[in-house]
Amino acid sequence: MTSKEYEKTLNIAFNEYRKNNPQDLLNGSKYFNQIGSTLLEDIEYSQQLKIKEQILNKLFENFTSVLSPSIFGSPKITEYRFKVEFVTSYNPKFEPFNRFGQRKKGNFSWVVDLDEYVLIEKDIFKKARQVYDYAISLGLNGYDLRMNKGDLRYITIKHYKDSSMLVITSDNQDERFNQLIDYAKVLGFNSIYWLQNSTKHDSFEGEVIKFEGVEFINIPMFINSNKYDFLVGPFTFFQNNIYCFEVLLEYLNKFIESQEFSSKTLFDLYSGVGLFGIVFAKYFNNIKSVDIVKDSIDLGIKISQLNNIKNIEFEARDIKDMSFTKNRDSVVIVDPPRNGLEEKGLINIMEIEPEYLIYISCNPITLKKDLCKLTEKYNILDLKYFDTFPQTYHVESLCIMKRK
């Protein structure tokens, strides 16, 4: 099954539920049927979970005959997103000419002008919209993607509890952006970045022109009452539903705590800023954290120092360029991107031959593909799903394996 086929299967299942249960459907928010990031608002949350679990169990049925996979719901089903990118567009053919929002479902070039968005906190959305409205009042325009010209391209929010970062992405260095930054400071953002992207590549990322406030925002996470502080910058990858990811970490912590790993090495591969290595460092003799993005590794070093973690070693390397020495008395945690481990990642694991392999996946299709190879040498001990993206088709999976 491909990713498109999996999505189609989910789509059929949800539409079948709608057809058979019209009396139970919810109204949804103002824009849920127009944008692609809130597809399931009309279905009661317990039913969203039930349908996802059924489809996932069917997908993994060849691997889980003796297991009982189940899905964990998110503590928050709205206002949960850590990061949201809002497109700022300009199109002189259709009013309003300037728009702030997200792509229309099925039409990448059309931006739905939003005055609410249920997946981030109301107050922080209001501030983001105020920044945009002030930009327009200064005479700055959004970006015309068809003509590749304009002023303001993206307004990106990173927000969790008391920490907030605003990222303004422009096409140029118009002096009026300094006024916009001053206005955003008054609104109370802890960190404000101004980036410039003058390329045809449609992205919020770009060259840093200026920043105000703190360089990194602090993200506190609590695992079994233990507090860990993480730092996030404008380009840092971090989990987008921290509330639900804490549930996953607590579940995994119970397994790791139940084992005797104090003499073992933990390989934290595709590590980002080293979240897993830092959270579970106390259970292992030493940690080796590897990621391709040097900025993430540099930030991971700062975070480990912030949390007084002394047994962790970071390395900025591309997994595809690495070879590993056999270490059968070890544990490997992998959290790869959506395309999964791919051939080289699988080779690396087989080179290490760890006693335990823990696989966190944001794509069940590539997880299944990788399991076809991994289960030649590993038994699946546990498989659980975590609904890190309520109102969407996406889930996070946790698979714990042991060498045969």
- Positions annotated as catalytic residues are 362, 396
Q: Which helix (H) or strand (E) holds 107?
A: strand 107-113
> Which amino acid would we find at residue 321?
D
Question: In sequence order, what are the residues at sequence separation of 6 or more whose Cβ sits closer than 8 angstroms to the Cβ of residue 50?
Answer: none
Cβ-defined contacts of 122-130 (< 8 Å, 24+): 122/79, 124/157, 124/159, 124/164, 125/157, 127/164, 127/166, 127/184, 127/187, 127/188, 127/189, 128/84, 128/86, 128/155, 128/157, 128/166, 129/100, 130/187
Beta bridge pairs of residue 222: 227
Q: How far is CA 2 from CA 6, 38, 99, 136, 251, in A?
A: 6, 22, 35, 43, 29
The Cα–Cα gap between 66 and 43 comes to 31
Backbone dihedral angles phi then psi of residue 250, each to the nearest 5 degrees: -65, -40
Cα distance between residue 5 and residue 84, in whole Å: 27
Q: 257 φ, ψ to 5°?
A: -65, -30
**Amino acid sitting at position 326:** K
The CA–CA distances, whole Å, from 60 to 3, 6, 11 equal: 14, 12, 18
CA distances from 145 to 88, 209, 289 (A): 10, 22, 39
